[in-house]
Amino acid sequence: MIIHQIYTGCLAQGAYYIESNGEVAIIDPLREVQDYIDTAEKNNAKIKYIFETHFHADFVSGHVTLAEKTGAKIVYGPSAETNFNAIIAKDNQVFTLGDITITALHTPGHTMESTCYLLKDANGKEYALFSGDTLFLGDVGRPDLAQKGTITEKDLAGFLFDSLRNKVMTLADDVIVYPAHGAGSACGKNLSKETVGTIGQQKATNYALRPDMTKEEFIHEVTDGLLPPPAYFPLNVKLNKEGYESVDDIIKKSAKPLSVNDFENIANKTGALILDVRHQNEFIKGFIPQSIFIGLNGTFAPWVGALIKDIIQPILLVTEIGDEETAITRLSRVGFDNVLGYLEGGFNSWREASKEIDTIVSVLPKTLEQNNQDNLLIFDVRKPGEFLSEHIVFAKNTPLDFLNNHIDEFPTNTPFYVHCAGGYRSVIAASILKARGFHKIIDISGGFDAIKNTNLPLSEAVCPSTLK
């Protein structure tokens, strides 16, 4: 038996390759599927099943393409409805894969069709649970993404409580937990950085699995403090239910090199968003005016989805040379398929053509420490939980996810500073504010990690896990 976790950091997402005696199952595949096919062919094995734990809201799954290329059967849990052929499993339905079995455990709560898959080894022993968004390490899936009719988020939280107590917590402590997401995903509130755990570990440490927890307490704690979901979530669910273009076709039509003049003309004619995906250290030195930075080196796809909003938005890319297809592929993972092309030769070709450029001023925290701190205007774009755990005492919290809600707080005529944890999100925020006419912005290099090494006044540190 082979189990591979294919963890994609820029999505905080785990897909799984399972093989037994020449037969393969893929759980929650990414949209680009060739690696799964290549691995199976290398092992002289055949992909038999594609198990989907639910209609993923935060990425476009590769189930449709993988089924078309391999003939494998797509499996969803009870109550799922699709526009393509799929096996809608019954609760406790057993699927044989080589010498092992995989049992569908219907676990509604995150969504109504949410299903975990329990793997039993060749001896019939319960071995691993592929828990989707029902159980994460340190958290459980948010229950507010798939409300229908009269079903509320509190109803879904109640279903989730029952699913966890009746289907998950009854498993043996040594059963391995393979979740669909880790830290950075918006599908939970406080996911662990670890990507593999056990049922016993989660019973001991996960706040949502406390044995003395009542259903009412669970509903309150799971729904308390939920931030609004990113706008692209329902659009990705629609693609996963109805089908989509192959990522190979998306790359063919989007990987189009454009000269400087063609790039500029298309931008002017279409109103396409210019998305610069280079490293933040390169972006601040020079970029095309009005362009937005979201670097490939960070959690790229979730930030694209959170900040661009509409997946049909036309996009023109500025990348490092050789990163063009990578950027297009990562955009397609979250449903952004409307890339019109990329700047041939990268940003250097723009600079060499003597076109107008913009820059962002960036300073070390030491510079702030040496200034008159009474006059400093600092905006912290980390998440509220990060801000509450520790922050500069006179900083304002303007989370990047909801920057639009704070636009009126940024001055147009007075210099102000912006920082995040390490310097990635603050440059995204700076690019957005620059594009909206805020040109007095100064980035704090190194973010809060560097600020903590200065004598700037900080709030009392609070452990994030104790925050509600």
Whole-number pLDDT of residue 140:
95
The DSSP string of 182-205 is -TT-TTSSS--S-S-EEHHHHHHH
The dihedral of CA 59, 62, 63, 68: what is its sign?
positive
pLDDT for position 188 = 79
d(CA 380, CA 49): 46
- HSE, CB side, 13 Å, CA atoms: give it for residue 51: 33
Alpha carbons within 13 A on the beta-carbon side of 39: 18
With b meaning 16 or more CB within 10 Å and e meaning fewer, what string describes 422-457? bbbbbbbbbbbbbbeebeebbbbbbbbebbeebebe
How many other CB atoms are there within 10 angstroms of residue 357's CB atom?
14
pLDDT digits (tens, 9 = 90+) for 2-54: 999 999 988 889 999 999 999 999 999 999 999 999 999 999 999 999 999 99
> What are the C-alpha distances in Å from 339 to residues 59, 254, 309?
17, 5, 15
What local confidence, expressed as pLDDT, does residue 302 receive? 85
Residue whose entry in the numeric block shows the structure tokens 């092309």: 341
CA 229/CA 224 separation, integer angstroms: 14
CA-angle at 13, arms to 313 and 418, nearest 5°:
60
In the block, tokens 């979730």 appear at 302
Question: 443 near 362, Cβ under 8 Å?
Answer: yes
Residues 217-240 have pLDDT tens digits of: 999 999 988 878 888 889 999 999
- The two tokens of residue 124 are 């019939």
Would you state the torsion angle of the CA atoms of residues 400, 403, 405, 407, taken in this order, to the nearest 10 degrees?
Answer: 150
Structure tokens of 188? Answer: 């939970």
* Predicted local distance difference test score (pLDDT) of residue 422: 95
Cβ atoms of 129 and 198 within 8 Å: the answer is no
pLDDT of residue 464: 57
The distance of Cα 206 from the centroid of its chain, to the nearest Å, equals: 21
Specify the DSSP element, H or E, that contains 258: strand 257-258
Q: Please tell me the distance from the alpha carbon of residue 162 to that of residue 341, in angstroms, as a whole number.
A: 49
Please report the pLDDT score of residue 226 as a whole number: 81
10-residue stretch averages of pLDDT, the chain, 468 residues long: 93 94 97 96 98 94 97 97 96 98 97 97 98 96 81 94 97 97 81 92 95 96 85 91 93 97 97 97 97 94 89 96 97 96 98 97 92 85 92 95 93 96 97 96 96 93 61
Q: What is the pLDDT of residue 468?
A: 47
Task: Give the Cα separation of 72 and 311 in Å (integer).
Answer: 28
**CA–CA separation, 25 vs 33, rounded Å?**
13
- Give every strand in the sheet of 197-198, ordered side by side: 94-97, 100-106, 115-120, 126-132, 176-179, 197-198
Give the per-residue pLDDT at 260. Answer: 98
Residue 120 to residue 281: CA distance in whole angstroms: 48
Q: Which segments within 299-392 are labelled E, that is strand?
A: 315-318, 339-343, 361-363, 378-380
For the CA atoms of the chain, what is the radius of gyration? Answer: 23
As given in the structure block, the two tokens for residue 104 are 């569908």
211 CB-contact burial (10 Å; exposed 0-12 / middle 13-18 / buried 19+): exposed
